[in-house]
Chains A and B, each alone.
Chain A
């Protein structure tokens, strides 16, 4: 174990992933500093979700290295990666449907507070877990829906709980896979604020299609095209990047500049 803090919270070195003969991720490189908020953008099928699945351990990579706080995590299982301080959300809400909002969040904090597989103590006495679950419930503004089953929540509420489950364990590196997908304009705006609040001082990677959200939220933008990171820089520099314009952004970018100079 290294004593000095790692320079990068998350680092990808020439990561590749094949599905059969099809190469989906073709040598992705990325180095995210602690505390940075990174938006991962790219056309459909560029491999954004696959990249998240590789980082979070849902799939194993074919080759290359993935480092979390300077330590290799590729080849580890999702729960091992989670225990090392990386948490992710899903594009399609992935909740504990027959448990209440509160129970969902409590399940998400138990491991990080050291409760492991214990069956010799009661949850009611797990004060820290209960307080943390209540706290997260306030943060995602679902405290009024405390005892509602996850499957009975509205779509927007489920998306909020999805983020709640992701951040509850206190992971330092957070991956959000299209957190605002399927939301109305006003909900999206509210959600961007929510994401900003709950990820203060954390390293954030988010897949996002809404350019307003991207430029509003991100310190840096990573552009993924055909399984490669073709640009990784501040929003202004990415906007100006010729290769990005050529490959992908051109039309979308012009549109968003025209529409939302306010961002």
Chain B
């Protein structure tokens, strides 16, 4: 009787899963048709690469509870090996189609994860984070010490257009490379998702939750961490190889701490709890690195503010915000919260405008003083040396923060109320079942 229950258990997930994966593939396929400019094509390519990297990073952070401060080592070394492989293939020294270069870098990413990861994964928790930081610094320093391999300050470059075109594909036009990246991104995403459904993937979750107990059900936690680390290194290497093909130049900064920090920051922003969180994070990463940095000189500062804000108020990242609201919506309790959301957004925006005015004035005074004290800010002209502008900005900021806090408290009450009702509903359904 227990078995019949299992066989006929309704699994709506399976339908949903086809829809989601189909939509994901479709979106990647049609994206270059929707956003046709060369800038957007470049950004889409970078997003694909970042998606692989952030998902691979999250194999450690979200699924294994391992906080790595030096994961750019594996994508970065992958990039260098990809570039050397590309150049060797260009010389005719080895036979290697350009489309397979990312696989080579993936293998090298995994090889370095085998070598360096053995030490790294001996420990969990804070020691693990410290060792990754140390290894990261070590490799970054080495990248400048061996100019023969790493190309020193200038890095190494190559040409992805080589050999005979295959079915007219030369990878010269960006759009051709985009589709190669999209293909890798889709397959890598599917493989990493599949990984979460395997015995090793599940034991990795167990190690995250309670490494001690894992030892008492027969598993060596170090091996679980180590094997996951190698898998992650493989996908980081693929991302690195695609990056090398995309930019056709690799400099030592690809193994650096800044890059590692970006993976961490955006994976966290997207959300480490849910599998799809890092995908959102990766898209945000490219938007921030390409667009936000164009918009303002102080973009890193804004990024830092957003990060702090998320850590404090939504530690599950954007994906968990989405999932929590979907749950509320599924129980039909979202509508009453909409007014609160509008209030939150409005007040947050007000505070942000005030804050941004102050930041921009400070930056203007520091960097552009030669251009005079006035600057354009959101259509208005501010005098960075005048009392009015500062008073105004501070006033807007203060009002915004106060009102935000007020509406936040209101929201927390309403949210708690909605959650209570949902709990009751769940209990009722359980009792009925």
Instruction: Please indicate whether A and B come from the same complex rather than being unrelated chains.
Output: yes
The answer to whether A117 and B216 have CB atoms under 8 Å apart is no
- A107 CB within 8 Å of chain B: yes
Task: Identify which of A106, A118, A129 contacts B200 (C-beta below 8 A).
Answer: A118
Residue among B195, B218, B219, B224 with the highest chain A CB neighbour number at 10 A: B218
The answer to whether B209 and A96 have CB atoms under 8 Å apart is yes
The answer to whether A119 and B220 have CB atoms under 8 Å apart is no
The answer to whether B195 and A119 have CB atoms under 8 Å apart is yes
- A111 CB within 8 Å of chain B: yes
Given contacts A119-B199, A119-B227, A123-B199, whether A79 and B219 have CB atoms under 8 Å apart is: yes
The answer to whether B216 and A56 have CB atoms under 8 Å apart is yes
- B381 CB within 8 Å of chain A: no
The answer to whether A77 and B220 have CB atoms under 8 Å apart is yes
A118 to B202, alpha carbons, bound, how many Å?
10
**Those of B209-230 within 8 Å (CB) of chain A:** 209-210, 212-220, 223-224, 227
**Those of B297-352 within 8 Å (CB) of chain A:** none
Given contacts A97-B210, A99-B205, A134-B6, whether A82 and B199 have CB atoms under 8 Å apart is: no
- B17 CB within 8 Å of chain A: no
Consensus secondary structure, chain B interface:
helix
The answer to whether A165 and B213 have CB atoms under 8 Å apart is yes
Given contacts A96-B210, A117-B227, A122-B194, whether A112 and B216 have CB atoms under 8 Å apart is: no
A82 to B430, alpha carbons, bound, how many Å?
37
A78 to B221, alpha carbons, bound, how many Å?
11
Interface size on A, residues (CB 8 A): 40
The answer to whether A95 and B213 have CB atoms under 8 Å apart is yes
B3 to chain A, nearest CB (A): 9
- B2 CB within 8 Å of chain A: yes
Task: Identify which of A79, A106, A129 contacts B218 (C-beta below 8 A).
Answer: A79
- B206 CB within 8 Å of chain A: yes
- A17 CB within 8 Å of chain B: no
Which residues of B are found within 8 Å of A165, using beta-carbon distances? 213, 217
- B197 CB within 8 Å of chain A: yes
**Those of A125-146 within 8 Å (CB) of chain B:** 126, 129, 134, 138, 144
The answer to whether A94 and B200 have CB atoms under 8 Å apart is no
Task: Identify which of B2, B224, B430 contacts A138 (C-beta below 8 A).
Answer: B2
Residue of A with least CB distance to B3 = A131
Residue of A with least CB distance to B208 = A98
The answer to whether B212 and A94 have CB atoms under 8 Å apart is yes
Which residues of A are found within 8 Å of B201, using beta-carbon distances? 119
A90 to B216, alpha carbons, bound, how many Å?
10
The answer to whether B223 and A117 have CB atoms under 8 Å apart is yes
- A47 CB within 8 Å of chain B: no
- B203 CB within 8 Å of chain A: yes
Given contacts A77-B215, A78-B215, A78-B216, whether A118 and B210 have CB atoms under 8 Å apart is: no
- B231 CB within 8 Å of chain A: yes
A138 to B3, alpha carbons, bound, how many Å?
13
- B198 CB within 8 Å of chain A: yes
- A88 CB within 8 Å of chain B: yes
The answer to whether B199 and A124 have CB atoms under 8 Å apart is no
Given contacts A96-B206, A107-B203, whether A118 and B198 have CB atoms under 8 Å apart is: yes
Given contacts A96-B205, A107-B203, whether A119 and B231 have CB atoms under 8 Å apart is: yes
A161 to chain B, nearest CB (A): 11
Residue of A with least CB distance to B231 = A119
Given contacts A94-B212, A98-B205, A134-B6, whether A82 and B198 have CB atoms under 8 Å apart is: no
Which residues of A are found within 8 Å of B199, using beta-carbon distances? 110, 115-119, 121, 123, 126, 129
The answer to whether A123 and B205 have CB atoms under 8 Å apart is no
B277 to chain A, nearest CB (A): 15
The answer to whether B203 and A117 have CB atoms under 8 Å apart is yes
Given contacts A97-B210, A134-B6, whether A122 and B198 have CB atoms under 8 Å apart is: yes
Given contacts A106-B202, A118-B199, A121-B198, whether A94 and B213 have CB atoms under 8 Å apart is: yes
- A103 CB within 8 Å of chain B: yes
Residue of B with least CB distance to A143 = B2
Given contacts A106-B202, A110-B203, A123-B202, whether A79 and B216 have CB atoms under 8 Å apart is: yes
A122 to B203, alpha carbons, bound, how many Å?
13
Which residues of B are found within 8 Å of A123, using beta-carbon distances? 197-199, 202
A98 to B430, alpha carbons, bound, how many Å?
21
Task: Identify which of A117, A119, A169 contacts B217 (C-beta below 8 A).
Answer: A169
The answer to whether B198 and A107 have CB atoms under 8 Å apart is no
A117 to B224, alpha carbons, bound, how many Å?
7
A134 to B231, alpha carbons, bound, how many Å?
30
Which residues of B are found within 8 Å of A87, using beta-carbon distances? 216-217
9 cross-chain pairs, A with B, having the tightest CB-CB distances, nearest first: A111-B218, A115-B199, A119-B200, A96-B209, A78-B215, A119-B198, A82-B218, A107-B206, A108-B217
Known: A82-B216, A108-B217, A112-B218. 4 other contacts (CB 8 A): A94-B216, A96-B206, A110-B218, A111-B217
Could you write out 19 A-B pairs with CB less than 8 Å apart? A78-B215, A79-B216, A79-B217, A79-B220, A83-B218, A96-B210, A107-B217, A111-B217, A115-B199, A117-B203, A117-B224, A118-B200, A122-B194, A123-B197, A123-B198, A123-B199, A126-B199, A138-B2, A165-B217
Residue ranges of B at the interface with A (Cβ–Cβ < 8 Å):
2, 6, 194-195, 197-203, 205-206, 208-210, 212-220, 223-224, 227, 231, 430
